[in-house]
Amino acid sequence: MTMQSLSPATQRFLAQSPLKLLIDGQWAPAASGQTYKSISPSDGTVIAELALAGTEDVDRAVAAARRAFEAGWGAMLPAQREALLRRLAGLLAEHADELAELESIDNGKPIRTTRAIDSRVASGLVYHFAGWPSKIHGVTPSVNVPNHFVYTRREPLGVAALIIPWNYPLIHSMQKVAPALACGNAVILKPAQVASLAMVRIGELFVEAGFPPGVFSVLTGKGSVIGQALAEHPGVSKLQVTGSTAVGRGVIKASAGNLKRLALELGSKAPNIIFADADLSKAIPKSFHAGFGHSGQSCVAGARLYVQSSIYEEVVAAMVDLATRARVGHALDDATELGPIVDETQMNTILDYIKSGVEQGATVRCGGHRLTGDAYGSGTYVAPTIFTGARDDMVISCEEIFGPVLPIYSFETEEEVIARANNTEYGLAAGVWTRDVSRAHRLGAAIKAGVVWVNTYDMFDGTAPFGGFKGSGYGRDNGEEVIEAYTEVKSVWIGL
DSSP code string of 79-97: HHHHHHHHHHHHHHHHTHH
Given a cut of 80, whether residue 197 has pLDDT beyond it is yes
Side chain identity at residue 401, one-letter code = I
**Residue 399 annotated to the active site:** no
**Residue 183 annotated to the active site:** no
In Å, how far from its chain's centre is CA 155? Answer: 26
Among candidate residues 101, 183, 232, 299, the one labeled active-site is 299
Tens of pLDDT, residues 198-229? 999 999 999 999 999 999 999 999 999 999 99
Tens of pLDDT, residues 225-280? 999 999 999 999 999 999 988 889 999 999 988 889 999 999 999 999 999 999 99
Predicted model pTM? 0.95
Task: Provide CATH code, domain 3-266+472-495.
Answer: 3.40.605.10
Among candidate residues 82, 103, 265, 400, the one labeled active-site is 265
Listed by start position, the domains of the chain span: 3-266+472-495, 271-461
User: What percent of the chain stands above pLDDT 90?
Assistant: 96
Tens of pLDDT, residues 363-417? 999 999 999 999 999 999 999 999 999 999 999 999 999 999 999 999 999 999 9
Tens of pLDDT, residues 328-341? 999 999 999 999 99
- The dihedrals phi and psi of 95, each to the nearest 5 degrees, come to -105, 25
Model pLDDT, residue 173: 98
Task: Provide CATH code, domain 271-461.
Answer: 3.40.309.10
**pLDDT band for position 134 (cuts 50, 70, 90):** very high
Given a cut of 70, whether residue 186 has pLDDT beyond it is yes
Given a cut of 60, whether residue 1 has pLDDT beyond it is no
CA gap 493, 496 in Å, rounded: 9
Model pLDDT, residue 5: 84
Report yes or no: 466 and 477 within 8 Å, Cβ to Cβ: yes
Going by C-alpha positions, the residue among 294, 80, 256, 318 that lies closest to residue 172 is: 294
Model pLDDT, residue 260: 92
User: What percent of the chain stands above pLDDT 70?
Assistant: 99
Report yes or no: 287 and 306 within 8 Å, Cβ to Cβ: no
Residue 94: partners with Cβ closer than 8 Å, 6 or more residues away: none
Domains 3-266+472-495 and 271-461 share a fold: no
Report yes or no: 321 and 94 within 8 Å, Cβ to Cβ: no
Model pLDDT, residue 258: 86
